[in-house]
Structure formats: structure tokens, C-alpha cells
Amino acid sequence: MYKTNIFKNIALKVLSLSRQKKQIIAMLFDFIALTTAFLISWRLTNHRLALETSLLFAFLLLTNYLATLFLFHRFSVYKTVVRYLDLTVLTSIFASLFVGSLMFYLILYYFNIARPLALSIIFLASSLLIISGTRLVVRALLRYIHPSNLKRVLIYGAGSAGRQLSAALKRGNEYSPIAFMDDDLSLQGTKIEGLTVYSVAEIKSQITSLRVDVILLAMPRNSSQKQRVLVTELESLQVEVKSLPSFADLVSGKAKIDELRDVQIEDLLGRDAVFANPDLLTQCIIHKNVLVTGAGGSIGSELCRQIIQLSPKTLILFDVSEFNLYQIEQELLQQQSDTKIFAVLGSIQNKSRLLSTLTSFKVETVYHAAAYKHVPMVEQNTIEGVRNNIFGSLNTAQAAIEAGVEVFVLISTDKAVRPTNTMGATKRVAELILQGLNSQNHSTKFCMVRFGNVLGSSGSVVPLFHRQIREGGPITVTDPKIIRYFMTIPEAALLVIQAGSMANGGDVFVLDMGEPVLIHDLAKRMIELSGLEEKTEENPDGDIEIIFTGLRPGEKLYEELLIGENNVTSTQHPRIMSAQESFMKWEELHQLLGQLDIACSDRNASKIRQLLINAPIDFRPISSNSDHLENHH
């Protein structure tokens, strides 16, 4: 034990040296190793070291060492951290020594030294064994000195991505690959990179004996549907599951092979990438002046990211939040683009600010994403919700008409269909405003795009669940029966842009959201994919409990995308439908807006609610008036 501690102390002192000093030590060691290899080859071939041969020996040793030193530097052998020594470095060492041995042979042959081939072969074998072998021994000792709590990793996918991942993880200090798992029958039972390849069935029976901590999915080319099936199959193993970035991100350089991520909710939805129609994408954007309201928000910022890729002449970012506006402006300025970017601070409740912005930049296309969207927040702040979502939309639309905007796209929501909360009701009235204005005599084409929840947006349930799992629970679900449609933010933005290009005036476009998701099931699956167990009465020793908190003010169990059942027609895009829905005449709507304006000025939230209930929008609130200010009079 005492000797072991002495050895550790010496090793730690060497490790604490600067990199330059460690490289000098390595060079000195390699000189000793080459000298030893020379002596071994000289001795085994029965050569003697007379005076004349000693001079030749010194000449051979010096030239060979200088050549090897040059090649080691050329192949970055001395730059390699010994702890992360791999096959690539060992190959470089072999190549360098082989060239040195070849030069050794040519000099021996030139000086007519007996048995030059045998000398060279023995020298190559000896030097390779000493230099490579010693480095491997040092690597093993270093790992012994610095034992780390590496997570034992099973890699799903023994293809090229899996092999690259295994090599990358072995160089790191967080994961230790222990085996592969693959569906390919020809690979099962074989060894790759020294690791056994198992079938899925074998892993299920041996997951405990292998002591697997994490399963890493190394199949970046898989379709979303196949990924979903695979993730579902692994859920029952109660092991943390992570995956590689997508193949597109790897190829583009946005991500590296060892940048692992948690299995995303997108992997559970199982939808493949949205089809992009190039004509629809560029029609309203390329070489045009485009404005996005709410540019710093979840949807608005993603719209900006995708719009700038489509070469608009000018992109105007309009937002009331200075922080959000600054963030998206700085992000877009980092991109290589000829598009001129202007960040404009302003509120959609200020029509004159909107009009001056639209006219100054000669805006041709508007994407109106600015809105208050959090259901409980708008429920508790009714007046501001109406001012922003209804009158803000009215201001933006009227300013667009006055400025001669060509296309105006409203970002709407499934909560506008038979609304049960104030936020949904305000968005439905905003839809009616656009439909009403469309009937007037002007050149602006209005349309609205209606879709459900977007993943990762502020207030989304998915980041909330991730945070609650990290904190050890519990996960809060409002109701065991609540279901929601989900779509990723990039998916939604891509479809919004394409829908806008199909606008004829007054169109209501509805996005195909796929199958609805039971939120309770989503919570359970996220627990399982984190390698944890749900804590229940049947399993009191579980890790994360799910508790039901009751529906929030204005929240309903399920959302709908259509007001009528048989009023949908297909469009040029398979994921975008056009809904033919009834709307109010402008005269009637104008009267309603006037009454709402008076109620807002009077700070009368109850009156606002009653006006929305009486309006032909099928508003049926499921909670009592919970406006903060009115309830504290």
C-alpha cells in the first residue's frame, strides 16, 4: 500500500508538469526506446560493436531518431494526451517507425552490413513494442490513478455512427461503452471495437447483468416513425435513453458525433420532417420586405430564423420586449446573409408606430405573431388580453391596409375553436377581424393559420416536465384525461410560411397536427426515458410521482382545430388544410369592437366577458371571472 501511494504521488507530480515538459520527457524516452531497439536488433543478429561499427551505430541511431522525431511531430503523436490514446495514434506511431526502419535498412544495405533485412525487421518490432506498449501501459495506469464514475453505456446501432460514437466516448471521461445492440442479424454475436453486438431480445434479458446505465441511440439516419417505434420498445427497460443529433445536423456541422441529447418529445411523436414546397416557401419572402410582429417570441423568432434563409430584401423585427428583440437581432446578425435586418421596438397597441414602420420600410409581407398566449395569464388579466390580442391585431391589420401590404398572415391557435377561455376568445375575434376586413375594398390578402401546442415554446408543458424530473419531481398534470396536439416550433413556422403563400383573402388554414397526445402518458414516458420509475401506490419506491392539480382557469380537456366538421378542403401542401368557416359582417363586428373598447376603457372585465359570451364565437367559459384587478376592488 505504501509503495502504491509513492507511485501515485510520483505519477501525479509528472501529470502536473506543463505540456511542454511532458513532451520533452516523451522525446527522451523515445530516444532511449530507439537505442534499446537498436541494441536488441544488433545483438540478436550476432553483430559486434567494434570501433568502426560503433561510429556507424551512432550515425544510424541519430539519423533514425531525427527522422522518427520529425514524423511523430508530423502525425501529432506528441500532442496526444496519453490517457486518450487510441488506434489512430497507434497507427501513426507504426507508420513513423516503419519509415524509420525502411531508412535503417537502406543505410545498412548501402554500407554493406550483413543481414540488413533481419536487422530492420527486429528493430521495427522492438521499437514498436517498446514505444507503443509503454504508452498503453501508462494509459492503463493513469486510468487506475484517476478512477472515474463512468456511466456504463450500451450503444444501439453498430453501424458507422455507432462505431464513431464508441471511439469518441472512449476518449472522454463521462461514458464507458460496454456493448452494442443492433437489429442486423449478420452483426449479432460479433465483436466491433472490442464490444459484443447483442440483439434487442438478449439485451432485455441481460440489462441488469450488464449493469447498463444509459442507452445511446446511434442511428441519426432513422426516420422519425422508426425512431418512435424504437423509443417505445426501450421504455420498458427503465434505463436512461439518449440519442445522437440528426444526420442533417451532423453533416452541416451544427453538431458533433459525441454531442448527446436526451430523447426529445419529437422522437415520441413519430412524425417525419415537414415537406417543403420551394415555390410556397419563397413566394412571399424572396427579395421582399418582410415584417414579423412578436419577433422575439417562440414562434416569431423561429419565423425570423427561417425567413432569413429565404433571402428577403429586408427583415424587420417588431417587438415590445427590448430583451427578446435584442436576442433575436444578435442571433440573426451572426448569419451570413445579404438581408438587411432592422430591430424596431414597439407595441401592436400603438397603431401610429405600426403604420410608420410599415410605410418607412415599404413592407410587403407581415407575419403577425405578437399575442398574449398563456391561458391562465390572460384569464387573470382580461383587459390587457383584449387590448393586445383583439385591438392589437386590429391595429396591425388596418395599418397593413393603409401601408399597402400585400400579404398578412395571422398566427392563430386551436384554442380559438369553441373557446372556453378568454385567450381563445380573443384569438377567435382576431380571426373574425381579418375575415371582416378582407371584405373591404383594398389590395391586402389576409389569412390566418391555426395550429395547436408547439414544443419548447414558453409555457409549454414539455420543458416544465423536464425541469420537474431534474428536480426529483413531482410532475404536475392538470387532469388524467387531458389531451393536446403537439408540433415542433420549426415545423409550425415552416408550415406558416407556406400557408401564407396560398392566401387568396380571408383564408383559415389549419395545420395537420398528427395524433393528439394524452398528457398523462407523455409524463410517464418522459420518466421512463430518463431511466427512472414512476412513484405510485403500487410502486412506493419509485422515483418520480405524478400528481393531478386540476384544470387551470379556462383550460379544457381537449382542443379542436375546426369549428365545423365537414368544411375542410385540401391545398397544395399535404399538411395544410383550408377551412371554410362562417364570419361576422364588418358592421356587426365593428359594433362589438366598439363595445369592447368602452368596456376596456372602463376597466370592466365582467362586461368584457359578457360581450365575448354574447358574440357569435361560441365562447363558453368553464371558469368564473378571475381577473386580478376586478377581484381586488
Rg (C-alpha) for the chain, rounded Å, is 34
**415 flagged as catalytic:** yes
Distance of CA 455 to the CA centre of its chain: 12
Nearest to 435 by CA among 378, 505, 381: 505
**Which of the residues 242, 415, 427, 535 is marked catalytic?**
415
Q: Contacts for 560-566 with beta carbons within 8 Å, 24 or more apart?
A: 560/414, 560/417, 560/418, 561/414, 561/417, 561/450, 561/451, 561/452, 561/485, 561/510, 561/511, 561/513, 562/417, 562/510, 563/417, 563/418, 563/618
Tell me the C-alpha to C-alpha distance, in Å, between residue 354 and each of 42, 314, 426, 456, 526: 89, 16, 20, 29, 43
Beta bridge partners of 488: 455
Tell me the C-alpha to C-alpha distance, in Å, between residue 96 and each of 71, 136, 333, 359: 6, 17, 47, 69
DSSP string, 44-98: HTT----HHHHHHHHHHHHHHHHHHHHHHHHTTTTTS-GGG--HHHHHHHHHHHH
Helix/strand number for the chain, H first, E second: 23, 23
Q: Which residues contact 461 (CB under 8 A, 6 or more apart)?
A: 453, 484, 519, 522
By residue count, the chain amounts to 633
Between CA 527 and CA 587 the distance in angstroms is 53
Q: Which residue has the cell 363558453?
A: 620
Q: Which three cell numbers stand for residue 498?
A: 407556406
Beta bridge partners of 212: none
Whether the CB-CB separation of 131 and 30 falls below 8 Å is answered with yes
Whether the CB-CB separation of 391 and 597 falls below 8 Å is answered with yes
Helix (H) or strand (E) holding 447: strand 445-451
State whether residue 250 is helix, strand or coil.
helix
Whether the CB-CB separation of 559 and 423 falls below 8 Å is answered with no
Whether the CB-CB separation of 488 and 266 falls below 8 Å is answered with yes
Between CA 224 and CA 220 the distance in angstroms is 10
Distance of CA 75 to the CA centre of its chain: 35
> How many Cβ atoms from other residues are within 10 Å of residue 364's Cβ?
21
Beta bridge partners of 546: 475
Between CA 559 and CA 32 the distance in angstroms is 76
User: What are the residue numbers of the active site?
Assistant: 415
